[in-house]
């Protein structure tokens, strides 16, 4: 079995695959500013309003947003969005109308929550990391709640229908979601499947706290639990042992690359996962994988560059699809279904334990 043991800072020059067409300076600069505009509008609640109704009465929105909201700033951010072509301003600037391009932006806002909300400090601090003035995890942190929120937004936009189709063919009673973030996914799945129960497991305290609110808002407190825990050690915690013993199906989305980061434990990861959930016979696992060197695309897809760079800065190596499949086989996990899953270079596997 050949596995990737090289840390990302020592990867060969073709780590990012075949070179696409150069990004112009204007695209790079305007794209940076535009990304902050999308994230600001999302955090203000503007994108939620526009998703429900493509015409936004700006003065009415500001009045409803609370006395501390500054109308001048809101208008300037909306004007920037109009310059980007996502909105049209009508009625002397008092009405914002969503364009077709704006609808695509609303649908893809999770990428901006992830990047601007979750990783902006890390990206901005890359020079400090390079010069040894900062260390990730000590001086520079990601916003875990924003990373979880962005993942939840993308789940609803790109992945929910695919996952529902896959899960429709799986008979489960108790479902564990590893790296569950804000527990939006496990709540949605269990909420739509009467008689089932769910556990949302995440190591992040802020994400778990948001998860408990998500579960409560869905009215599922008697069927779904959000637990802050290391997913591989949760079986050793007395408080959760009974719940873990009932889990017959395990799912995990976009956590595996973090669990695979340590080269010493990497070859045994999926064996440990099976041991942590001894009653589980079905594993539904998805991750974003390293872009193939031979991809040869003339343009960069959304997300890939940010995903690769963020993990390189954090010291988390990424792996090819072939490496994942070798590791699955080594742990006795056999794919019964493999489908493309939402974001670029992301794959969803249904595996059976034998």
Where are the extended beta strands (E) located within 130-273? 174-178, 197-202, 224-228, 249-253
Q: What is the pLDDT of residues 118-168, one digit of tens each?
A: 999 999 999 999 999 999 999 999 998 899 889 889 888 888 889 899 999
The per-residue pLDDT for 4 is 35
Quote the pLDDT of residue 5.
Answer: 33
Tokens 């840390």 correspond to 7
Tokens linked to 350: 């249904």
Residue-level pLDDT at 187: 95
Measured distance CA(303)–CA(312) in Å, rounded: 14
State how far the Cα of 143 lies from the Cα of 118, in Å rounded to an integer. Answer: 5
pLDDT at residue 87 in the model: 97
* pLDDT number for residue 248: 96
pTM: 0.80
10-residue mean pLDDT profile of the chain (354 residues): values are 35 50 92 97 97 96 94 98 97 97 96 96 96 94 89 85 91 94 90 95 89 96 92 66 88 91 92 92 94 66 89 93 95 96 91 93
Rounded Cα–Cα distance for residues 151 and 122 (Å): 18
228: which DSSP letter?
A: E
Q: Identify the pLDDT of residue 233.
A: 73
Residue 181 zone, left/alpha/beta (φ > 0; ψ -120 to 50; rest)? left
Burial 13-35 (b: 16+ CB within 10 A, else e): eebbbeeeeeeeeeeeeeeeebb
């Amino acid at each position: 079995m050949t596995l990737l043991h090289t840390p990302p800072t020592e990867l060969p020059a073709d780590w990012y695959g075949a070179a696409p067409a150069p990004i112009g300076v204007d695209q790079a600069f305007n794209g940076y500013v535009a990304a902050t505009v999308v994230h600001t509008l999302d955090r203000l609640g503007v994108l939620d309003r526009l998703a429900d109704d493509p015409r936004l009465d700006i003065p009415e929105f500001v009045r409803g947003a609370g006395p501390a909201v500054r109308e001048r700033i809101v208008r300037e951010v909306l004007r920037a969005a109009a310059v980007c072509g996502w909105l049209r301003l009508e009625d002397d600037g008092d009405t914002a109308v969503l364009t077709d391009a704006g609808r695509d932006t609303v649908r893809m806002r999770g990428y901006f929550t992830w990047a601007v909300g979750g990783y902006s400090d890390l990206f901005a601090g890359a020079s400090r990391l390079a010069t040894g003035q900062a260390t990730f995890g000590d001086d520079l942190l990601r916003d875990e709640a924003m990373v979880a929120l962005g993942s939840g937004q993308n789940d609803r936009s790109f992945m929910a229908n695919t996952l529902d189709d896959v899960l429709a063919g799986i008979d489960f009673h108790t479902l564990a979601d590893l790296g569950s973030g804000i527990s939006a996914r496990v709540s949605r799945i269990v909420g739509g499947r009467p008689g089932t129960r769910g556990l949302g497991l995440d190591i992040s305290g802020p994400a778990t706290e948001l998860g408990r609110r998500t579960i409560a808002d869905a009215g599922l407190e008697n069927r779904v639990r959000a637990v802050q825990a290391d997913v591989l050690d949760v079986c050793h915690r007395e408080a959760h042992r009974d719940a873990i013993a009932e889990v017959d199906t395990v799912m995990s989305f976009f956590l595996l690359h973090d669990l695979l980061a340590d080269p010493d434990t990497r070859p045994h990861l999926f064996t440990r996962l099976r041991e942590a959930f001894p009653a589980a016979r079905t594993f539904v696992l998805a991750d974003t994988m390293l872009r193939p060197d031979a991809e040869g695309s003339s343009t960069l897809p959304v997300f890939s560059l940010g995903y690769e760079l963020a993990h390189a800065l954090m010291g988390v190596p990424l792996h090819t699809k072939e490496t994942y499949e070798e590791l699955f086989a080594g742990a006795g996990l056999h794919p019964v279904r493999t489908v493309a899953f939402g974001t670029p270079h992301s794959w969803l596997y249904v595996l059976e334990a034998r």
